[in-house]
Structure 1
Amino acid sequence: MKIMVVGMPSEPIHEFASGEDMVAAAPAHGWTLTGYEDMPHLNEALRGMPKFMELHGPAGGGDSVRYETWEANNLYSSKNGTGV
């Protein structure tokens, strides 16, 4: 399963092959592991995925899972793309 971490447009997209790979790389990126997704109503592919204080996610499912930095989430989730 492909895991993507998306930041602001000027930041690189980080990709990982597994949740374990992402957890192993987290300290180098400054991400703090807070636990693992356990909400039963979510897509089965998201359950058991790591959760981080600095990232929004996991989201998606199927063949890929997406995380976003909080700044990127504010930008991409706004109506006009300005974070407002």
Structure 2
Amino acid sequence: MIEYNRYAVGRVVRRVRKEKQLSQEIASGLAGLARSHLAMIENGSKQANFETVWKIANALGMCPHELVRLIEKEIRENEWTDKAERARKG
């Protein structure tokens, strides 16, 4: 089982957004979110619920399952790094 990881969610969202050359302002507008909300998701200080992940995926021009698959991959590849980061941030 894969444990939810808000840092992985944020890294993937930021990476895909930048690959699509979208600013936080544009991406958040397309998703119907405040720019600050998207920024907090990207930096891992806010957890995204399923509805928010769905909105972000659509704003990035992808199906939600594609975004979730990328997040899953990120979690698997960086599991040890994330544990250290969480321990450091307390």
Above 0.5 in TM-score? no
Q: Of Structure 1 and Structure 2, which has the larger fraction of its residues in helix?
A: 2
Q: Of Structure 1 and Structure 2, which has the larger fraction of its residues in strand?
A: 1
Larger RCO: Structure 1 or Structure 2 (Cα < 8 Å, ≥ 6 residues apart)? 2
